[in-house]
Amino acid sequence: MELSYPDPTGCQHKLGETSRGLLKVCNLSAVTLLSSSWLQFAGKLNATAPTTTQRATNPFGIGFASSPIARRRANPRILTPPLPARSYRSRPLSHSAPSNSKPSSPLLSHPPTMAAAATSTAHSLLLQRPTAPRAPAAAASSLRLPARAAKISCAAVAAPSASSPLTGAGDRGVYNFAAGPATLPLSVLKRAQAELVDYHGSGMSIMEMSHRGKEFDAAIKKAEADLRALLAVPDTHAVLFLQGGATTQFAAVPLNLCAGPSDPADFVVSGSWSDKAFKEAKKFSAASAAWSGKDAKYTALPPFDDIKQNPEARFLHICSNETIHGVEFKDYPEPRNKSGILVADMSSNFCSKPVDVSRFGVIYAGAQKNVGPSGVTIAIVRKDLIGNAQPITPVMLDYKTHADNASLYNTPPCFAIYICGLVFEDLLAQGGLAEVEKKNAYKAGILYDTIDASSGYYICPLEKSVRSLMNVPFTLAKGPDFEKQFIAEAAKEGMVQLKGHRSVGGVRASIYNAMPLAGVEKLVAFMKDFQARNP
């Protein structure tokens, strides 16, 4: 038998009657009480004042036998109470500029000393669960139950919020550290869920309607407008919603920017992704590596003067954040080619911080890390570069095709674009990318500080000035067996998808915009605890 109830996060829950009294999440629109045992149970709502421990276990304040951690161990899928929003203001950020460049932002590097405060009580932090918010008094007291079974409608279900506090994935029982497709803001998922079946009163899902109808037209236009606002995209640049992943852009860029296969192009090869882009570009241009970090195992980025730029090159290509190796450009090199074109693959740090778009000829990014699901790739292209594609360019890879047709030349990935639109709205509601960057710098800071303070137990081989705020790869000095154990135990504690990329091994924590601070705090506490238990 079941009892469902609203909670203050706007999610509806169902109490499943099990021997352990476990909570499950569901999506019901009414409360139905059918069993007399549930009536007795629910009757306690008014009869018994909950203890602090009881309050921590569910919004009604009815306590269950075991602690959240014990319940998690028994069943990793178990719902844990929502975590409260965290404040970033109490800890100052340290601003250190990267060694290889002139700072363009005060937040170029992670704060080095924050971890001490955040992690000094590592074990206790790990075990501690914040007290869950209680159901509003009105909602609880309205549950005055009749003596016999009755149907009770519950209208007090809050609409999903458009903005995302830094609670989130924890509400789903896990913190998801995947590199991509990656965690999305819970508020966005709830909003999509609420709108899924009947989009804006149309009686259809956004997946079921014409991409040329008024509803989708409004959705894609708003997504573009919000992205333009977020990144301050100037009128000189077009925003395109494309398909084929960032991998397709590895070919599209030289096809659109080079006159033919003998036209030179420069690549900074700073990791696996820029290496792939470089190799693909060789098919459609005379691409050369202006700098390569391969010998240093992709742990550094070049001082900009070390990039051997060809003045005849059509463009200089960089990958602004290497998702696998974890090196991130904190500033960008000036292109020294005649046409002044800088191209960046921003797949894994897109919309994680403000960027001066006017410095780029082309920015492209697969959405599935920071701004949406897989299926859509966003390209921001300087308008004067559009319309010069090589004659062999397939119509779908020609930027002009998409610019002339407002990204609606053929059927676009409607649902993915719609979700990106919700994410953009969420990022704007958070205060824009400057705010988002502060949060990202803080999260990465406490993680790197923990690694650096571990006396070599955890190793991050990257040069400090180029460490990514998005993807934090590290190894354990005790070797691969302990890494496996670390990843398995973390998963049991609800921190999933921490395995490093198959090409490099180790551990990788991807902490994109939507990773709550609470998730990184929990990881940091777990790392200290793991080290203490396995010296």
Place of tokens 């705010």: 435
Q: Is 217 a catalytic residue?
A: no
Q: Which residue is nearest to ligand PMP (CB)?
A: 245
Contact 145, 43 (CB under 8 A): yes
Contact 412, 388 (CB under 8 A): no
Taking the complex as a whole, the smallest distance from the CB of residue 369 to ligand PMP amounts, in Å, to 7
Q: Is 273 a catalytic residue?
A: yes
Single out the residue of 348, 393, 440, 510 in contact with ligand PMP (rule: CB under 6 A). 348
Single out the residue of 180, 361, 445, 519 in contact with ligand PMP (rule: CB under 6 A). 180
Verify binding: residue 245, ligand PMP, rule CB under 6 A.
yes
Single out the residue of 366, 421, 445, 494 in contact with ligand PMP (rule: CB under 6 A). 366
Which one, of 251, 248, 290, 297, lies nearest residue 269 by Cα? 290
Q: Of the listed 226, 266, 273, 499, which one is catalytic? A: 273
What angle, rounded to 10 degrees, do the helices at 517-533 and 480-492 form? 130
Q: Which two tokens stand for residue 114?
A: 């924050």
Of 180 and 326, nearer to ligand PMP (C-beta) is 180
Task: Compute the distance between CA of residue 533 and CA of residue 398 in angstroms, rounded to an integer.
Answer: 56
Task: Compute the distance between CA of residue 272 and CA of residue 294 in angstroms, rounded to an integer.
Answer: 9
Single out the residue of 347, 370, 450, 475 in contact with ligand PMP (rule: CB under 6 A). 347
Task: Compute the distance between CA of residue 169 and CA of residue 164 in angstroms, rounded to an integer.
Answer: 11
Task: Compute the distance between CA of residue 132 and CA of residue 61 in angstroms, rounded to an integer.
Answer: 9
Of 273 and 360, nearer to ligand PMP (C-beta) is 273
Verify binding: residue 243, ligand PMP, rule CB under 6 A.
no
Of 32 and 374, nearer to ligand PMP (C-beta) is 374
Verify binding: residue 270, ligand PMP, rule CB under 6 A.
no
Residue 20, beta-bridge partner list: none
Of 350 and 448, nearer to ligand PMP (C-beta) is 350
Q: Of the listed 190, 369, 499, 528, which one is catalytic? A: 369
Count how many Cα atoms sit within 13 Å of the Cα of residue 88 in the half-sphere of its side chain: 22
Task: Compute the distance between CA of residue 164 and CA of residue 369 in angstroms, rounded to an integer.
Answer: 17
Q: Is 263 a catalytic residue?
A: no
Of 171 and 280, nearer to ligand PMP (C-beta) is 280
Contact stretch for ligand PMP (CB under 6 A) within 194-202, 239-247, 259-267, 395-403: 239-247
- Helix or strand (DSSP H, E) at 240: strand 237-242
Verify binding: residue 183, ligand PMP, rule CB under 6 A.
no
**Rounded-to-5 percentages of helix, strand, coil across the chain:** 35, 15, 50
Verify binding: residue 512, ligand PMP, rule CB under 6 A.
no
Q: What single-letter DSSP state applies at residue 26?
A: -
Taking the complex as a whole, the smallest distance from the CB of residue 377 to ligand PMP amounts, in Å, to 6
Verify binding: residue 293, ligand PMP, rule CB under 6 A.
no
Residues lying near ligand PMP in the complex (CB under 6 A) are found at 180, 245-247, 273, 319, 323, 345, 347-348, 366
Positions annotated as catalytic residues are 273, 345, 369
